[in-house]
Amino acid sequence: MSSHETNGLVFVFTGTSGSGRKTIAHHIAKELGFSSVVSYTTRTPRPKEINGKDYNFISRKVFIDCDIAGEFFQTVEIDGNFYGIKKADIDEALRKDGLIYVIVNRYAANRFKYTFGERAIRLFIYVNKQTIMERMLARNTPTDVIDHYMNHYIEEVSYRKDCEHVFENMNLQETIDKVKATMLAHMPTTTS
Ligand SMILES: Nc1ncnc2c1ncn2[C@@H]1O[C@H](COP(=O)(O)OP(=O)(O)OP(=O)(O)O)[C@@H](O)[C@H]1O
Ligand SMILES: Nc1nc2c(ncn2[C@@H]2O[C@H](COP(=O)(O)O)[C@@H](O)[C@H]2O)c(=O)[nH]1
């Protein structure tokens, strides 16, 4: 049995695309000092995305080879692109930090819940569709990315009823404070 089945906490950031999940998750992780388990994808990088931070960008051939070799904990295909998280990356981060965080959609969130049970905490981040649109337009986000966010909104937002915690991300600092407090409440306190 690998360690990801026995130890550690998994914070699963999920919710509506473009709602601020990565911003919130990375900010809190930096403050609390733990690292993310980064997904692999065959999608083309968007402007400002960093390989190894936002995603590990790989070719379809490499993705399929890794999949056949059984390296992925879970995979999904969205709009013709593959996404997945590697078992070895989960195990390594759990060994190092005792907890991990991932940023994924409902399919991976369900898989984490199934495998880790109460040790998987789903943090659902959302904003309304209009706000996502306004934020994206203000940042000159490419049209195809905005379309992608809009097309998946209804399906994604319906998952919030299944999650342990739900946050509407209007004021960023307020959301960060609430999510961080929620995460800390799940983390074991250290005794001196
Ligand atoms: N409360 C907020 N107010 C205004 N802008 C925000 C807020 N939270 C995040 N943003 C901005 O919204 C954009 C999308 O945020 P982010 O990339 O973190 O979302 P995401 O849910 O991880 O998106 P993706 O679906 O692409 O993974 C970023 O430009 C971020 O700076
Ligand atoms: N099931 C999984 N979902 C994932 C994974 N990595 C990212 N995601 C989610 O997919 C959508 C689309 O992402 P985008 O960056 O192309 O907009 C979004 O909800 C991501 O959080 C994964 O490994 N498994």
Ordered DSSP codes for 127-178? --HHHHHHHHHHTT--HHHHHHHHHHHHHHHGGGGGSSEEEE-SSHHHHHHH
* Predicted structure pTM score: 0.95
Ligand 1 centre distance from Cα of residue 47 (Å)? 14
Give all strands of the β-sheet with 99-103 in edge-to-edge order: 99-103, 9-15, 120-126, 165-168
Atom of ligand 2 nearest to the CA of 111: 1
ipTM over 0.95: yes
Kindly give, in sequence order, each residue whose CB lies less than 8 Å from that of residue 129, ignoring residues fewer than 6 positions away.
Answer: 150, 153
CATH superfamily of 3-186: P-loop containing nucleotide triphosphate hydrolases (3.40.50.300)
Q: Dump pLDDT digits (tens) for 135-159.
A: 999 988 899 999 999 999 999 999 9
Q: How far is the CA of 83 from the centre of ligand 2 (A)?
A: 6
191 C-alpha vs ligand 1 centroid, how far in Å?
36
Atom 14 in ligand 2: which residue has the minimum CA distance?
17
